[in-house]
Amino acid sequence: MTEEDTETERHAGAREALAAALKARLRTEPLDKVTVTQLTRDCGLTRQAFYYHFPDVRHLAVWVFETEVARRVRTFAAEVGWADGLVWLMRYMRDNRSSTLGVLSGVGQPGLERFLFWQMRPVTEAVMDREGGGPVRLQDRVLVVDFYTSAVLAVVLRWVADGMVEHPYRVVGNLEVMLHGAVRESVRRLDERAAPT
């Protein structure tokens, strides 16, 4: 192993230790009450080590969500399908309720919506491509992807607001029923409208 590999591994280990400390704290405290001092003490790192990786606790929280949730969902969705990826996301959020709610309250509703939108958008794009490709015009393609991403996101946010009670399979199953054929039909209509007469 090279010196560079050792350094990379050490940095990854520090980030993981800070993430574990944050998740443990979020079981009993809101995100805005968690301090850098607590986290570094909990995992045996220095404040300097914390600030080497993250500017503040909120950025650490977003990084945890990004690494543990968003990337896995995108990978899972690409390999197995968007519905299974979304079920996995929702199950993770429910199984890690305290840390999920801590992150959500920490980044705020607008921040959460923007963050989840950009995480879910590639999944929606993959659904459209699988349904037979997108509209001919680029602006129509963007419109379709953004519209269906926003629709799915609204359902997920409502599920979170309602306490994550309904089983993720049921929520995603309902989404599948509503989306089945709808994306393809939207593409067809937009292409029809854009075609020269």
Q: What is the pTM of this model?
A: 0.73
3-state SS assignment for residue 144:
helix
What tens digit of pLDDT does each residue of 37-95 get? 999 999 999 999 999 999 999 889 888 877 777 677 767 666 667 788 788 888 888 98
The domains spanning 3-53 and 61-194 adopt the same CATH topology: no
CATH architecture for segment(s) 61-194: Orthogonal Bundle (1.10)
Domain extents in the chain: 3-53, 61-194
The CATH classification number of 3-53 equals 1.10.10
- CA 108 – CA 94 distance, rounded (Å): 18
Give the model confidence (pLDDT) of 110-126 as tens digits.
Answer: 777 887 788 778 777 87
Residue pair 103/177 in contact by the 8 Å Cβ criterion: no
